[in-house]
């Protein structure tokens, strides 16, 4: 019985340590909800909107004021080269940078990592939760 109790305690301790190790390794990204972004834009707060959707999706629907880069899926040099166009704009001000991806997932985190590597402060970088697909504010949407 004592052996079993020790085995259970040891197993739980190992599980807890594994969980901490995974949490420590997970990259941390800053996110903004669609509602919070809508509030910022409606209030006229300056915001860099970096849209990485492919050209066809951007033409169909995008947030007013978003700068198209057509960099999605941001998986190679050809895609990151498309992001270089917005670097000077971002460096030219201290405003938050909201990354708009089709769904706010892999392409957005790769863009975040790229901009971070280019010297953009992490405090300025935000990913739109659920991306363009999660954006439902028609008055602030443009497209066909």
Judge if the upstream peptide bond of residue 27 is cis by omega within 30 degrees of 0. Answer: no
For the stretch 28-56, pLDDT in tens is: 999 999 999 999 999 999 999 999 999 99
Other beta carbons within 10 angstroms of residue 21's beta carbon come to 10
* Residue 74: partners with Cβ closer than 8 Å, 6 or more residues away: 52, 80, 83, 107, 110, 111, 114
DSSP state of 31: E
The Cα 130–Cα 136 span in angstroms is 11
pLDDT tens digits along 115-130: 999 999 999 999 999 9
pLDDT in tens, 3-31: 666 656 556 555 555 555 544 555 699 99
Distance (Å, whole) CA 117 – CA 97: 14
CATH code for the structural domain at 28-142? 3.40.250.10
């Amino acid at each position: 019985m004592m052996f079993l109790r020790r085995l259970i305690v040891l197993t739980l301790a190992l599980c807890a340590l594994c969980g901490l190790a995974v949490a420590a390794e997970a990259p941390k990204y800053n996110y903004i909800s669609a509602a919070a972004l809508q509030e910022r834009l409606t209030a006229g707060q300056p915001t860099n909107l970096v849209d990485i959707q492919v050209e066809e999706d951007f033409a169909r629907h995008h947030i007013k004021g978003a700068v198209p880069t057509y960099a999605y899926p941001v998986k190679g040099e050809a895609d990151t080269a498309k992001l270089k166009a917005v670097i000077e704009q971002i460096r030219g001000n201290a405003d938050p940078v909201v990354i708009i991806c089709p769904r706010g997932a892999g392409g957005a985190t790769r863009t975040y990592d790229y901009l971070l590597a280019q010297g953009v402060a992490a405090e300025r970088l935000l990913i739109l939760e659920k991306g363009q697909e999660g954006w439902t504010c028609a008055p602030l949407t443009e497209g066909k």
